[in-house]
Amino acid sequence: MAECSSWQPPRPCEAYRAEWKLCRSARHFLHHYYVHGERPACEQWRRDLASCRDWEERRSDEAQRSLCESERARVQAARKHILVWALRQSPPADWHLPLPQEKDE
């Protein structure tokens, strides 16, 4: 791992606290449940906050390792979501024509 004196958490501890607080909010719960059909998992944000505070107070190697692994997993999860739709460079040639169901009427 990195040297304890120079290593800093990827985010300030306040950022982990804000994410944990947001995750536990009623608005986020309803949105996440509506979109994903399940309760949001806020436990990782709480563990990250505890690890960050542990790092600030004791410079614990375990806290440093936990934060690094958590951030690495978060980045990997964000990378696995690819675009579903192919982006167009220009509109279709027949964009101005009536739609098929309008032709029949």
Indicate the pTM of the whole model: 0.67
Structure tokens at 35: 């979109």
Q: CB neighbours of 72 closer than 8 A, spacing ≥ 6?
A: none
CA distance 27 to 5: 39
pLDDT tens digit sequence for 45-67: 999 999 999 988 998 899 999 99
- Per residue in 88-97, pLDDT (tens digit) is 899 989 889 8
* Number of residues written out for the chain: 105
Angle at 48 between CA 59 and CA 9, to 5 degrees: 50
pLDDT winner (highest mean) among 23-32, 58-67, 93-102: 23-32
